[in-house]
Structure 1
């Protein structure tokens, strides 16, 4: 069965997953792997705590609190980590279990994130887009970090390659390269980051082994 979920064409998506529109329920696209402190998801006016091993649904708006982290694993083995005060939504998810390829679109409106690609990326890539505060990332065979750092917005490619497209220009980055985007400017040329900046970026999405989930809604 192919899971096909999009922000438009809702009726068709419901038909494909075998759910009648009259009784439509949010469709699960992944699971929460880890949470440090606070994380909440909201959808259709309803909010819930995102506890470890809990579901991730299509179109969830996922939010993390101060000093909080969340790691989620999608059905195709994509792994998403969201740093503190973050906000992330799965906008598009097309995946056939056991197959390579499909389509994945994410929006990261706030906070630092780490994306580790799964089966949707496929052997040729080009199936994943991540919308950020400064532009859209097209990823290929990728592990990529993004977030605010050093007075701007940074993108660092840890594996694979990423094309960042903004209103003022584009830049292609390969493994070990990053860019910075400052307000009103085009992205800087791809180049290795200083070790200190890289370490600080990674720290924003690192989840402690002593991570402890703190419910905020259902106490």
Structure 2
């Protein structure tokens, strides 16, 4: 399967990263690496705490402030093989990361302040269902091993406004959040582990267990609206914002990084993995 082959090509870069940082105090909180960078992407890192232009193969650590500009994209590969992608005008931080390769279990915490994102759980993350979360300005998404798309701000408001049956609401164009469960869900086949999300906002928890269903949180202290089946138009717009479809996109139709000779060479030169178990205090 093409996706599996692509993930396998990405493994050595992570293995090499673990081997290279295992004994470095300065890199004690390294959690992954930039796998793809398109156009205007900036970040802060432990090696360079000033905001600078991000590059492929650059290490990502806890607390790094990562931003994408107009017509820009980023894909990050974490040490447990979890992948997250950012669309244009997005901002994210990795707040928490724990990975035990011996147990093949991990947990991730991300904060997305604006823009669009896709979060693709690794198999290790499936071993700790409910232990990973994505925070937006108005909601917390508990991830139970699956693929999640999200839009925060004006993009979320625009997509939600076109959806039927959401009722009356007052949306905040800065913090409103639209969250979509891409899947796999309870009907997963072919060895895939079913997943789900729990969206918490305004003191209310709404589970989403069916792929293609979404929730919309209009603003601060408001409960989620939904779940509702996101229209084909809304789903396609999220894909477009993430650069997943269209000519010249970094990612294929499944959100996986397309073949890249620069990163492929680096993946192939990676070293063998060593045991790695780091938390924010590690």
Normalised TM-score (structure 1): 0.79
Q: Which has the higher contact order (CA 8 A, sep 6+)?
A: 2
Q: Which moved more, 1:109-118 or 1:46-55?
A: 46-55
Q: Which of 212, 219, 224 matches 1:187?
A: 224
Deviation at 1:18, TM superposition (A): 5.0
Deviation string, structure 1 residues 80-109 (Cα, Å, up to 9, x no partner): 001111111111111123532232111111
Distance 1:210 1:195, change over 3 A: closer
Which residues of structure 1 form unaligned runs of 5+? Answer: 1-16, 213-219
Q: CA separation in 2, counterparts of 1:27 and 1:124?
A: 20
Aligned residue number for residue 50 of structure 2: 46
Give the CA deviation at 1:60: 1.1
Query: Which residue number corresponds to residue 142 of structure 1?
Result: 146
1:87 aligns with 2:91: yes
Q: Does 1:155 align with 2:179?
A: yes
| Distance in 2 between residues matched to 1:199 and 1:59, nearest whole Å | 31
Establish whether residue 116 from structure 1 lines up as the match of residue 120 from structure 2: yes
| Aligned counterpart, 1:165 | 200
Distance 1:19 1:37, change over 3 A: closer
TM-score normalised by structure 2 residue count: 0.62
Contact 1:134 1:166 in 2 (8 A): yes
Match of 1:65 in 2: 69
Q: Which runs of 5+ in 2 are unaligned?
A: 1-21, 159-175, 184-194, 251-282
Cα deviation digits, residues 26-50 of structure 1 (max 9, x gap): 6321111111111111146423322
Match of 2:33 in 1: 31
Q: Per the alignment, in what secondary structure is the counterpart of residue 248 of structure 2?
A: coil
Out of 200-209 and 72-81, give the one that drifted further.
200-209
- Map Cα deviations across residues 100-135 of structure 1 (whole Å, 9 max, x no partner): 223211111111100000144233511211111221
Distance 1:157-1:60 versus aligned 2 partners, 3 A rule: same
Residue 210 (structure 1) aligns with:
248
Whether the 8 Å CA contact 1:100–1:122 is kept in 2: the answer is no
Q: More displaced, 134-143 or 53-62?
A: 53-62
Distance 2:78 2:24 in 1: 20
Deviation (angstroms), 1:166 = 0.9
